[in-house]
Structure 1
Amino acid sequence: MRPLPALAALAAAALLLSGCASAVRGTAVAGEVPPSTAPRTTTSAQASTSAPGASGAGVSCDYERSGTAAKPVDLPPATSTDTPAKVVLALGGGEVIVELSPDTPCTGRSFAHLARSGYYDGTPCHRLTTSAGLQVLQCGDPSGTGSGGPGYVIPDENPDSASAYVPGVVAMANAGPHTGGSQFFIIYGTCDIPPDYAVIGKTDAAGLAVVTRIAAGGVDSPSGDGPPKTPVTIESAKAS
């Protein structure tokens, strides 16, 4: 792990983003590993993508238990004929509708499962970055520390190119290969990162405006990387 100078206390939990601009090069979105431990690595959490449908039907996902859950939740179903098309986040006084990507069925199924299970309800968005090379809001850790996860890891479904990371995209945070769990980030501006983070889906102009408004409130850190100055909570998350 390469430490983030402004967040030394979270260095061991930082998500690797080696392609970021110099102001944040080395790290960015915090991952889901306890402080002072190495990133979890598993080799069996792989997706079997035999004849997948647009909704994820036909895809078998190997979700593997790992670590302690920040909030109790069951494993997502390995297979499903009921893959939601969207997740609606009531976030910071506004609504962010995430249209799930058919290209990442295992990631989307887990995201929707956590929403349906109430895992995200009442949880904070613990990190906001406002640098020229990284402009994201990160949420999904009930502990609010940046090191919490659901107690399982999901298969990696990373994009082919970094061009996938544009404003409005919602992507999965991680701490290296095979460590994605519940933390995610919403891109509201520039996001200069390598293609190492599965794209969950994308929000529309209205959802992007909600996140942009949150970002305009500033960061509670002189580095421009830390908790939002005005606390932000996922009031509820609903999958449909």
Structure 2
Amino acid sequence: MLKKISLLLLSAIFLSACTTKPISPLVDDDKVLVNNQTTNQMTPTSTPPTLPISATINTSLGPITLELFPNKAPLTVANFVDLSTGSEGKDPFYNNLIFHRVISGFMIQGGDPLGTGTGGPGYSFADEFNQGLTFDKAGILAMANSGPNTNGSQFFITLAPTPHLNGLHTIFGQVIAGMDILEKIGNVEVGAQDKPIEDVVIVSINVTP
């Protein structure tokens, strides 16, 4: 199934170099931000399989296991799986990236290859909102963005209910194991722009169909 998901992504995107603008101050502690970047647009051409998928984010502080929702956010899940596992001879995208923004009681954010909030995979794709998915608890996995239809590689996991994010960010999974690790990351010491003083690293992400 992972091969099918990768084929979907390969047929749906054209990668280009990512040109970023200077970093903007991240001063909104109740928002999930991705600073503006110029990208190609990714458009789905088919729907990936709807079988359950789980992903384990192996962090430097321990593992967090997620249930993904391919039947409710197919393109977003396909993108996350492809970046997690690598495709066409590419290394897994997320390996050794950091959680670059952590706000206690709100969320942890990662998936930026630059570690600054400005990076991405070189493309963007549309939002996928589902009325049955809301930010009603801790452990919700969703895409960070810089506005409508600007999803790329950056994602976040909530540390508490955040209903003000409903309709603004695509939800595509939830934590099913490792809430203690999530909370541990959420309580690390941070400095400027909510960046952890000591790097919290995404060592790898294992995807299980």
Q: 1:114 aligns with which of 83, 92, 95?
A: 83
Aligned to 1:10, the other structure's residue is in SS state coil
Aligned to 1:157, the other structure's residue is in SS state coil
Aligned to 1:120, the other structure's residue is in SS state coil
Pairwise CA distance, 1:29:
1.6
Structure 2 stretches of 5 or more lacking a match?
Answer: 1-21, 87-91
- Listed as ranges, the matches of 1:79-228 within 5 Å are 79-81=47-49, 85-101=53-69, 102-117=71-86, 118-130=92-104, 135-160=106-131, 163-191=134-162, 192-204=164-176, 206-221=177-192, 226-228=194-196
Pairwise CA distance, 1:197:
0.6
8 A contact 2:57–2:204 mirrored in 1: yes
Pairwise CA distance, 1:220:
1.6
Amino acid paired to 1:183: Q
8 A contact 2:107–2:159 mirrored in 1: yes
Deviates more, 1:143-152 or 1:212-221: 212-221
8 A contact 1:149–1:181 mirrored in 2: yes
Aligned residues: 180
In 1, the alpha carbon distance for the partners of 2:134 and 2:97 equals 30
Higher relative contact order, structure no. (Cα contacts within 8 Å, ≥ 6 residues apart): 2
User: Could you state the TM-score of these two structures normalised by the residue count of structure 1?
Assistant: 0.65
Amino acid paired to 1:207: G
In 2, the alpha carbon distance for the partners of 1:84 and 1:113 equals 16
Q: Deviations over 1:64-112 (max 9, x none)?
A: xxxxxxxxxxxxxx55449770121101321111110121111011100
| Alignment RMSD (CA, Å) | 2.8
Aligned to 1:127, the other structure's residue is in SS state strand
In 2, the alpha carbon distance for the partners of 1:165 and 1:114 equals 27
Aligned to 1:197, the other structure's residue is in SS state coil
In 2, the alpha carbon distance for the partners of 1:130 and 1:9 equals 22
Aligned to 2:36, the other structure's residue is in SS state coil
8 A contact 1:89–1:237 mirrored in 2: yes
Structure 1 stretches of 5 or more lacking a match?
Answer: 1-7, 15-22, 47-60, 63-77
8 A contact 1:115–1:239 mirrored in 2: yes
In 2, the alpha carbon distance for the partners of 1:228 and 1:146 equals 13
Pairwise CA distance, 1:200:
1.6
8 A contact 1:139–1:185 mirrored in 2: yes
Aligned to 1:211, the other structure's residue is in SS state helix
Q: Percent identity?
A: 28
Q: 1:30 aligns with which of 16, 29, 33?
A: 33
In 2, the alpha carbon distance for the partners of 1:209 and 1:141 equals 23
8 A contact 1:139–1:184 mirrored in 2: yes
In 2, the alpha carbon distance for the partners of 1:159 and 1:219 equals 33
User: Could you state the TM-score of these two structures normalised by the residue count of structure 2?
Assistant: 0.74
Pairwise CA distance, 1:154:
2.1
Change (3 A) 1:234 1:185: same
